[in-house]
Amino acid sequence: MRFAVLGSGSQGNGTLIASGDTYILVDCGFSLRETERRLALLGVSAAQLSAVLVTHEHADHVHGVGLLSRRYNVPVYLSQGTLRGLRKPVEVAGFLACGQRLSVGSLEVTASRVEHDAHEPLQYVVSDGTRRFGMLTDLGSYDARLLNGYRDLDALLIEANHCRDMLARGHYPYFLKQRVGGMRGHLNNHQAASLVHELGWNTLQYLVLAHLSSKNNLPHLARQCFVDTLGCDPDWLEVANQEHGLDWRAIA
Ligand SMILES: [Zn+2]
Ligand SMILES: [Zn+2]
């Protein structure tokens, strides 16, 4: 099993997970043309996609979903709440809910509900039967139930959205600071690092920091926070950025 990131941040998100000829794209926050370009850089054509899973209805996650699914006839899976929240409806192949499993080719996906300011936001763990890759972005808080779904992972992509101090000192209006930093907003660096610490990270081959805010975070601050909290090697941490995402990583 392997994974790659098309791009990550408030301007667009997309994560690709593959095993054999099964390709799952989680979220498509880029235009169709940009998605095609980014897939091509990873050596993949949109026609190869087995499914698109959507986490929630925010534009940075759904922008290109409708066009992509129609143009390439790719089945779309999301929660009922996410469909309700979409401005432009898409044709849905199936609904997902918290705790539900979905088989797509040689991969199996399990959905977890997260706290975020969307209708019914889900995050996913994807397994090939042996290895487990977890994604966890767009959440403002977490509890033991959520952590239980993310145990024993081989790779984790986690949101390190903002630095608490940068958000507090920055130029966002008050209501937006409250929203981003709130229980249903986004994880700051400290929260994300604490989550990984609580989860345990000794099984992880990869730890990828994602969805970093371009205004309220800096990659070296996010990295340092994880190094301080986990005591891990700074060079082991990966950061998926907005421009280039992250190239393929193979989970051994
Ligand atoms: Zn987002
Ligand atoms: Zn969001």
**251 part of a folded domain:** no
**Residue 146, both tokens:** 């959520």
Which amino acid does the sequence have at 97? Answer: A
> What are φ and ψ of residue 24, in 5° steps?
-110, 130
Q: Which of 202, 209, 203 is nearest to 240 (CA)?
A: 209
> How many structural domains does the chain have?
1
What is the rounded CA–CA span in Å between residue 224 and residue 57?
A: 31
How many Å lie between the centroid of ligand 2 and the Cα of residue 114?
A: 11
Distances (CA, A) of 10 to 57, 119, 135, 211, 216: 13, 18, 16, 7, 11
Which amino acid does the sequence have at 105? Answer: G
| % of the chain residues with pLDDT over 70 | 100
How many Å lie between the centroid of ligand 1 and the Cα of residue 116?
A: 10
pLDDT bracket for residue 117 (50, 70, 90)? very high
> What are φ and ψ of residue 37, in 5° steps?
-65, -45
Which range (88-92, 205-209, 238-242) has the least confidence? 88-92
Mean pLDDT across 132-160 = 98
pLDDT of residue 158: 98
Q: Which of 137, 124, 179, 115 is nearest to 9 (CA)?
A: 137
pLDDT bracket for residue 209 (50, 70, 90)? very high
How many Å lie between the centroid of ligand 2 and the Cα of residue 49?
A: 23
pLDDT bracket for residue 50 (50, 70, 90)? very high
pLDDT of residue 20: 97
**118 part of a folded domain:** yes
pLDDT of residue 45: 98
| Domain span holding position 9 | 2-241
Distances (CA, A) of 60 to 14, 30, 209: 9, 7, 17
Mean pLDDT across 188-216 = 97
Return the DSSP state at 118. Answer: S
Q: What is the CATH number of the domain that holds 41?
A: 3.60.15.10
Q: Which of 127, 84, 75, 119 is nearest to 98 (CA)?
A: 119
**36 part of a folded domain:** yes
Q: Which helix (H) or strand (E) holds 230?
A: helix 219-230
**250 part of a folded domain:** no
pLDDT at 21 over 90: yes
**34 part of a folded domain:** yes
pLDDT bracket for residue 89 (50, 70, 90)? confident
How many Å lie between the centroid of ligand 1 and the Cα of residue 252?
A: 29
pLDDT of residue 15: 98
How many Å lie between the centroid of ligand 2 and the Cα of residue 102?
A: 22
Ligand nearest to the CA of 13: 1
**56 part of a folded domain:** yes
**252 part of a folded domain:** no
How many Å lie between the centroid of ligand 1 and the Cα of residue 211?
A: 7
How many Å lie between the centroid of ligand 1 and the Cα of residue 235?
A: 26
How many Å lie between the centroid of ligand 2 and the Cα of residue 59?
A: 8
**83 part of a folded domain:** yes
